[in-house]
A and B are shown apart, each in its own frame.
Chain A
Amino acid sequence: MTRNTRILMSVIYWAFIVYLFVPLALMVTMGFKDSKFIGFPIRSWTLDWYATVIQDTEVLSVFGYSMTIAIATTILSLIIGTWVAVFLGPNQFRGKAIIFALACLPAVIPGIISAIALRIFARLIDIEPGMFAIILGHTVHNVPFVALVVMARLSTQPKSHIEAARDLGADSIVAFFRVTLPYLKPALIGAGIFCMLLSFDDFVRAFFLGGYQPTLPVLIFAKLRSGMSPEINAISTIVLIMTAILGLWAERSMRRLNKGS
């Protein structure tokens, strides 16, 4: 590799980083603008928009609603996803490739199609649009991610772990809870936080599966359609900071996973 291409590539990398961060930085900055109008230049600064958000009971209740959905989704996704991984990981059987592909399907189906299909399905199994429908939709979407992360972790577990537990008299259930589950812990923390982010940030499923009560992304979308305002920036910035903290935490526990805790 010549010197020039090396320099060129590092320039492209940093330019790409700028492309990723500048829009977000602008969005955060605009939340401190002392004017109703979104746009540059910014002449005076204020914290009022944050005060508005914190006192806005609608935003707070929507925040709680989204959080409830995210937590419920995460718990369900972890249970089902781990079960799928424990089943698909070590067992060999005919048709496994097809079952595996079907298990991953919701992760790759275009969002709008998945949302429409789930909306119709919720009607079929008689779930009203609202919290339960959204939880179902998010869980369907998140299970493949949990399953893949847990399967990756499971594949590194030495067989001797389980055998030792069995020799010491544990049956399958006890061996799973006492040996396998602790081994999976970092993967589960990482996958769980990832699920929370996916659920909390999801728009398209929440939009089609939701009832009158909006989730946070749906509320931001509705506000945006009626006009941009620095209040939206303040809400988005709060979400951004929370997301970054959760994401970094997930990343840390996944890292420990690679090192082999």
Chain B
Amino acid sequence: MTFWGALMRNGVYQSVSTTLFKSQRRQFWILASVPLFWIFFANLGPILEMFWIGFLDSYPPKVGHEPQFTLANWAAFFQDRVFIIPFFRTLAFSFIFTAITLLITYPVAYFLAKHVSRKNQLLFLLLLLIPFWVGEIVRTYAIMILLGNNGAVNLALKSLGLIDRPIPFMYTGFSLGVGIIYLTALYMLLPLYSALEKLPDNYLEAAADLGAGAWTRFRRITLPLSREGIASGCTLVFLISTGYYATPVLLGGPRSTVFAETIAGFFHVAGDQWPMGAAFSSIMLIATLGVTGLFLKLMGRDGKGMMR
């Protein structure tokens, strides 16, 4: 109280304040300064820089060698199956994982939004949220313990007498899928929940009164009205699941190498493989944003408010 009062009465502060806020225009630009700087410097800058490095023949610059412009890094991608296969595998995996996540979480979100009483919804939601606060590595490790040869699933199957030898779940596309879905399901669940929660109950009641069966009501009312949630959820899960690195390293095997591992390889090898890694990252960024852009267009809305 006294501090702010004193500040307002302080002569130096008063003159600074009046100069700063002399006009609406000036006030707008002062307010805009830090956000605009941050958005262009920290959000856009690294991406543009990455694209640019992809066109250089060597980086970081070596002594006595000016980096030359080249397209070789981009061309290399299309010339080697070692690169192309993980790339399309990553897109296919993410696509499949997204679809499965949608199928699993839709009933969960619907149950939560429509069948749990208002009073209990927060509690039920919290139960879903808690595991997702735990970090990527810890949760990946938990899946390793679940699916390992001496893991819980194999132990359970063995004690039930269903198998003699453990099933090798680990280091396959299956274990990777279980892990990725475990990590990303929340990004599907929350948008679906908030879309379904807004769906008025009386729409469904009206449809039922007019003789629509359960399947018709779902297809004609629930599904179209939760479209926005589906679009946001799928977009988020697809984008995020293509970006995991540690999880594929720990849960995947030689037959499920993803593109993130390919990219990381260029940065772990000492030397100047950076430009190729940068070009490959750019290709992946363009591809993933392209796929989601197309998807959102098909779903009939633009990218605006994706985060909401």
Tell me whether A and B are bound partners: yes
Q: Which of B114, B124, B236 contacts A108 (CB 8 A)?
A: B236
Q: In chain B, what residue has the closest Cβ to A97?
A: B304
CB distance from A214 to the nearest CB of B (A): 11
Select which of B4, B44, B46, B104 is within 8 A of A174 by beta carbon: B4
The distance in angstroms between the C-alpha atoms of A103 and B8, with both chains bound, is: 34
Q: What residues on A are CB-neighbors of B128 within 8 Å?
A: 16-17, 20
CB < 8 Å: which of A91, A106, A174, A217 contacts B7?
A: A174
Is A9 in contact with B138, judged by CB distance below 8 angstroms?
no
Q: Does B110 contact A (CB under 8 A)?
A: yes
The distance from the CB of A188 to the nearest CB of chain B, in whole angstroms, is 17
Partner-binding segment picked from B26-34, B63-71, B75-83, B223-231: B26-34
Instruction: Write out the residue numbers on chain A whose beta carbons fall within 8 Å of the beta carbon of B288.
Output: 110
Count residues on chain B whose CB falls below 8 Å from chain A CBs: 93
Do most interface residues of chain B lie in helix, strand or loop, or is the interface mixed?
helix
Is B31 a contact of A204 with CB atoms below 8 Å? no
Contacts of A41 in B (CB 8 A): 155
Quick check: is B53 within 8 A (CB to CB) of the other chain? yes
Q: Give the bracket for the number of chain A residues in contact with chain B.
A: 35 or more
B35 within 8 A of A: yes
Can you show 30 pairs from A to B with CB atoms below 8 A apart? A1-B115, A5-B214, A12-B111, A16-B108, A30-B145, A39-B148, A39-B151, A40-B152, A87-B31, A91-B31, A110-B243, A110-B284, A111-B240, A111-B260, A112-B260, A114-B46, A116-B267, A117-B49, A121-B45, A123-B60, A143-B38, A170-B8, A171-B17, A173-B17, A201-B138, A204-B244, A217-B246, A228-B145, A243-B134, A247-B130
Shortest 3 CB-CB contacts between residues of A and residues of B: A39-B150, A110-B243, A201-B135
Residue positions of A touching B, CB distance < 8 A: 1-2, 5-6, 8-10, 12-13, 16-17, 19-24, 26-27, 30, 37-41, 80, 83-84, 86-88, 91, 93, 97, 99-121, 123-124, 136, 139-140, 143-144, 148, 169-174, 177-178, 197, 200-204, 207-208, 217, 220-221, 224-225, 228, 232-233, 236, 239-240, 243-244, 246-248, 251, 255
